[in-house]
Amino acid sequence: MTWVLRHREMALALLIAAMVVAVATYAPAFAAPASLLGVLNDTAFLFMLAVGQTMVLLTRGIDLSVAANLALTGMLVALVGQYGPDLPGPVYLVLAAVIGAGLGLVIGGLIGGLGIPPIVVSLGALAIYRGLIVVIGGGDQVNASEMGAGFQAFPKVALFGLTSPVWIAVAIALAAQVFLTRSRTGRSLYAVGGNPVAARYCGVSVERIEVLVYVLSGAIAGICGYLWVARYGVAYSEIALGYELTVIAACVIGGVSIGGGVGTVPGALLGALFLGVVVNALPTMQVSPFWQMAVAGAVILGAVVLNARAEAQSGKLILPEARRT
Amino acid sequence: MTPALSIRNVTKRFPGVTALDCVSFDLLPGTVTALVGENGAGKSTIVKILTGIYTPDDGQVLVEDAPARFASPKDAWGAGIAAIHQETVMFDELSVAENVFMGHMPGGRLIDRAAMVARTEALLTRIDADFGASVLLKNLSVAQKHMVEVARALSHKARVVIMDEPTAALSRHEIGELFTLVARLRAEGRAILFISHKFDEIFRISDRWVCLRDGKLAGQGLTAEVTEPELVRLMVGRPVDQVFPKRQISLGEVVLEVDGLSNATEFADLSFDLRRGEILGFYGLVGAGRSEAMQCLFGLTRPTRGTVRRDGRPLTIRKPADAIAAGFAYVPEDRQHQGAALSLGIRENTTLASLAAHVKGWFLSAGSERRETRMLGERLDVRAATWETAVGNLSGGNQQKVVIAKWLATRPRVVILDEPTKGIDVGSKAAVHDFIGELAEEGLAVILVTSELPEAMGLADRLLVMHEGRIVARFTRGDWSAEAIVAAATGAGDKAA
């Protein structure tokens, strides 16, 4: 049991399982296979974005522009879909990844190249990207009727009851896991976040790593942008409004440290799943829609507090003097 | 005369070291007492106890013969003890008046600004300050900031004023002004504890002296009755040559030649060479420019002038990666900021500077990393539950061993060790010393930057002494004395040639 508690991922997985069981005793329909698969389908975007954000957080950064990037990229590919030929879904997927990576490069360049604090840069980019959606869309939205069939079909393709966004999330998560645990560059992410000065002494180019993580996070946001717009059949300026905070909450619940250097892909995925279960369980438990947001927030806070306590108990006192004064 | 402050048998222990061992002395009103001692002798621990940052494990502090307990800095202020630090710790964006009265602003729930400004102006007039109470602190010079700290001390009606190397950042003229102020405080009957490494200042300003060595009281007396060589002997005070048995190593060919290395402000005209198997010591006071020079050599900063040759060929080092490729390794002084990534495991830290060696095919090989970590960890005697344990959970000594392991993993030819035993326990210290000798024996060239005289004299083949950014003396093993080295480092005289 102590072994389980010591491994944050295991503890979180048990917590999620307990939550599913508890909800199912109250509302048995929730535990039906179709319903559980539905939870995964609904959470696919959160999985992907949490993985991207994890890489940013590992380097002591933060990317508040992911949801705005998602919406802007979604609008751009929707316009391509509206005015261009009807291309197969994967082509849009690649296009969206490139656009998203470009938007990520802009903030990565400012953060890594010029050394401006990530929170300032990504907050500024958030406003600019949201604003640009209105500009390029001429203030209008792109509706399902204006999107081609190929454009819209891709996110609805399903295999074993899971739609393509879930499978793409699986692919992204696997790639990120290999990248972070088995590659030199991936290891550098932990070094940069764990101790940027030491990383520099070891010959790691901190600036390049910083640019890289925002590009990767941006590419993932871009992919989500296409899938989101195509799945819900609408592109406009307020898509995924405020979603960046949900993404960061998922990472934190999953044990990714805002202070950098600590976190894993499985942790971030479980954090996202935790939120996915909460959000999907509340309506089935007939919690009043007025209360759902507040309850979800309270559950998030509770999970974070539990995490913080687990951290404190491990007895790490790095700077005893700093704590005294 | 009742002492303003008495320290009675104060002992302070940290894991593995006794920083203060049964120290007693008095501070008398109207007297300037100089506190002298080598780096690490316990001076700053005394200051921290008197200002309520540390509590003593044993012994007590008396304020005018009444026992006092300082659980926090606020208690110390309340007892009339004020400290002025070498780098002022105040609020740059606030006004002088706000800085002076921070924590005890006049008024009830709302600040009585008028009273605060008026009282500050009165204090500033008393100390002849040439600036007003409403100036923002960031617009003042370092010397003027010291005056603000003095005003702050006066606002607390401080009986005891501690000055911790207050002249370190001051020009000659500003030092003169500070000393006028010290004389005024003395005339007002306050007790002053003056900490400085500079002998000329000690003899100019102090009435009494207290000398610490290795956490113990080495002596005290009247300044008029002591000479500079006597003080130096008390500070050093032990037959240092016997502390570490020096390994006999025959020196090989010249590996490194540095000629005229300079940067804009911190060091100038450093020239030296280094042979295989040699340990070259860099001794000096904190702030003499030694670490800055090493960081420059390692490509962390750019020199303004100077050449570096390895094996006779000129090197261009623009970034740390170049230095690593050229066979340099740098174990920095400040482990927590520069050395280890505390959240990462021992394995990740050990292989961080040499990851390329562990790439098998496309991926990092955890097995190869583990083998290397085990090999180096066992060789350096790193004590940990597993090789995956986070470095932040290790003791200081073991953290230092991991940082050294990381650099040995790069298979370097020139190893720069910057204060390798700073803040680690006695046992680990001996292991690190032994290990430094082993490195030299294997034919590595070692640069040892140290502020500890026994360490420098115990390990080095040659010793370069730096003072204010320049090499002021060069000694060869067997042809040195502790007194001459300390004298050169403090800039006391030109006894060293």
Domain B241-489 CATH assignment equals 3.40.50.300: yes
Domain B5-240 CATH assignment equals 3.40.50.300: yes
Test the B interface: residue of A183, A188, A201 with most B CBs within 10 Å: A201
Query: Which pLDDT belongs to residue B336?
Result: 63
Q: Do A201 and B356 touch (CB under 8 A)?
A: no
Question: Which member of A197, A314, A321 has the closest CB to residue B338?
Answer: A197
Q: Is the pLDDT of residue A315 over 90?
A: no
A202: closest chain B residue by CA = B353
Q: Is the pLDDT of residue B127 over 90?
A: no
Q: CB-based contact (8 Å) between A114 and chain B?
A: no
- Segment B108-126 shows an average pLDDT of 88
Q: What six digits make up the tokens of A62? A: 């933060």
Q: Do A202 and B343 touch (CB under 8 A)?
A: no
A197: closest chain B residue by CA = B338
The answer to whether residues A207 and A113 touch, using CB atoms and an 8 Å cutoff, is yes
Domain ranges in chain B with CATH number 3.40.50.300: 5-240, 241-489
With 0.80 as the threshold, say if the pTM is over it: no
Q: In whole angstroms, what is the distance from residue B465 CA to residue B458 CA?
A: 15
Q: CB-based contact (8 Å) between A82 and chain B?
A: no
Q: In whole angstroms, what is the distance from residue A213 CA to residue A289 CA?
A: 37
Q: Do A191 and B340 touch (CB under 8 A)?
A: no
Q: In whole angstroms, what is the distance from residue A120 CA to residue B115 CA?
A: 40
Q: Is the pLDDT of residue A318 over 90?
A: no
Question: Which member of A198, A315, A319 has the closest CB to residue B341?
Answer: A198
B14: closest chain A residue by CA = A320
Query: Which pLDDT belongs to residue A322?
Result: 36
Question: Which member of B323, B339, B359 has the closest CB to residue A198?
Answer: B339
Q: CB-based contact (8 Å) between A58 and chain B?
A: no
Q: CB-based contact (8 Å) between A32 and chain B?
A: no
Q: Is the pLDDT of residue A5 over 70?
A: no
Q: Token match 């819209």: residue?
A: A152
pLDDT (tens digit per residue) in B424-442 = 655 667 778 888 888 888 8
Q: In whole angstroms, what is the distance from residue B218 CA to residue B236 CA?
A: 10
The whole-angstrom distance between B171's CA and the closest CA on chain A is 31
pLDDT (tens digit per residue) in B189-219 = 999 999 987 778 889 899 999 999 888 898 8
Q: ipTM for the complex? A: 0.74
Query: Which pLDDT belongs to residue B399?
Result: 84
Q: CB-based contact (8 Å) between A197 and chain B?
A: yes
The answer to whether residues B192 and B34 touch, using CB atoms and an 8 Å cutoff, is no
Average pLDDT, chain A: 85
Domain ranges of chain A: 43-263
Cβ-in-10-Å burial (0-12, 13-18, 19+) of B411 comes to exposed
pLDDT (tens digit per residue) in B234-256 = 887 754 444 566 777 788 889 99
Query: Which pLDDT belongs to residue B244?
Result: 63
Q: In whole angstroms, what is the distance from residue B213 CA to residue A264 CA?
A: 49
The whole-angstrom distance between A204's CA and the closest CA on chain B is 7
Q: Is the pLDDT of residue A323 over 50?
A: no
Type and span of the H or E element at A109: none
Angle of CA points A118, A124, A127, to nearest 5°: 140
Q: Do B355 and A324 touch (CB under 8 A)?
A: no
A201: closest chain B residue by CA = B320
Residues of chain B neighbouring A319 (CB-CB closer than 8 A): 336
The answer to whether residues B258 and B306 touch, using CB atoms and an 8 Å cutoff, is yes
pLDDT (tens digit per residue) in A55-105 = 999 999 999 999 999 999 999 999 888 887 778 888 899 999 999 999 999
Q: In whole angstroms, what is the distance from residue B466 CA to residue B312 CA?
A: 25
Question: Which member of A194, A201, A324 has the closest CB to residue B338?
Answer: A201
Q: Do A203 and B324 touch (CB under 8 A)?
A: yes
Q: CB-based contact (8 Å) between A191 and chain B?
A: yes
Residues of chain B neighbouring A198 (CB-CB closer than 8 A): 337-341, 352
Q: HSE-up of B70 (CA within 13 Å, CB side)?
A: 29
A256: closest chain B residue by CA = B343
